[in-house]
Amino acid sequence: MPALTRFQKYAITGLGAVGGAVLFYYNVYGSTDTAKVCNSWTTNFSPSVKWDHNWDRRDPKSLIKPVQINDETAENDYNEKLETKKPKVIRHLFLIRHGQYNTGGRTDVERILTDLGRRQAEATGKRLAELGMPYSLIIRSTMARAQETSKIIEKSISDVPVEDDSLLIEGAPIPPEPSIGHWKSERYFFQDGPRIEAAFRKYFHRAEPSQEKDSYTVIVCHANVIRYFVCRALQFPPEAWMRITLNHASITWLSILPSGRVSLRCLGDTGHMLPRNITSS
């Protein structure tokens, strides 16, 4: 093993001296040519999948035309442009699954909420109101059960702008892994997948640099859509969407930070409902 430099000795001894601090140190094994900096809490761990910081194609560095920096003036100019592209606030997305509905309906118009589904939607509306967030927008799928769920929720969080979006209707986003046990034509995935992916790209991204305050958007839609969104937002394998179960009228809360990192604050929460009112299918 090569001799340690003074900096390497200091960094290693500092690990034991400073508790709870975020420290970095060199990997001193092997030649100095291959030395690398590692996080103190992971040592030499190599992740199986690395986080894509430009997942929404809005990383500030990707929004500026690459230039060759030859002097301090050019560097300052570049940094000034970079600052104008940096988001400053958080985008909060509340994904709400519709309430229990009449699965025996032959058309979408007939697939309206059951009495229990309406009670579920009412409980979720009250819960959103109790959270006391300054909701910016409500977006709802155009399917009957989502429309009805949203309108019930809107009674509890009134005076919030509302938009309809057919991109959010239910569908089959991608063939699940493992398979679900019954056959489904590839046509459904071929047709629904691009639409649901388009909805993800439309709503999941970091804030615009011009946005001055955190935003809180409520999206009322469907289980398959939400499950796919969660996998995509967290950069999990998207084919894992079927491994997630969501209750009716549940709340899934994701936050997109200015850095582009995504935090899942809650998944399929129905703790605000009476136990006897909780259903998933």
Three-state SS for 269?
Answer: strand
Strand partners, 101: 113
Residues 96 and 153: beta-carbon distance below 8 Å:
yes
Q: What is the pLDDT of residue 185?
A: 83
How many whole angstroms separate alpha carbon 262 and alpha carbon 260? Answer: 6
Q: What is the pLDDT of residue 183?
A: 74
For residue 215, the number of C-alpha atoms closer than 13 Å in the C-beta half-sphere is 24
Q: What is the pLDDT of residue 179?
A: 87
Q: What is the pLDDT of residue 41?
A: 65
How many whole angstroms separate alpha carbon 63 and alpha carbon 197? Answer: 22
Domains and CATH numbers, the chain: 1-46 (no CATH), 54-86 (no CATH), 91-277 (3.40.50.1240)
String of DSSP letters for 76-118: HHHHHHHHHT---S-EEEEEEEPPPB-TT-SSGGG-PBPHHHH
Residues 199 and 165: beta-carbon distance below 8 Å:
yes
Residues 92 and 253: beta-carbon distance below 8 Å:
yes
Residues 87 and 240: beta-carbon distance below 8 Å:
no
Residues of the chain with pLDDT under 50: 1-34
Q: Distance between alpha carbon 28 and the CA centroid of its chain, in Å?
A: 38
Residues 226 and 139: beta-carbon distance below 8 Å:
no
The DSSP element (H or E) to which 58 belongs, if any, is: none
How many whole angstroms separate alpha carbon 267 and alpha carbon 147? Answer: 22
Q: What is the pLDDT of residue 26?
A: 31
Q: What is the pLDDT of residue 241?
A: 97
| Distant-in-sequence, close-in-space partners of 152: CB < 8 Å, separation ≥ 6 | 99, 118, 121, 122, 125
| Distant-in-sequence, close-in-space partners of 108: CB < 8 Å, separation ≥ 6 | 143, 144
Amino acid (1-letter code) at residue 244: I
Closest listed residue to residue 90, CA positions, set 37, 46, 134: 134
From residue 152, alpha-carbon distances to 107, 218, 256 in Å are 22, 13, 27
Give the E-state strand segments of the chain in sequence order. 24-26, 37-39, 91-97, 137-140, 162-164, 215-221, 251-256, 262-269
- Relative to beta strand 215-221, strand 91-97 is parallel
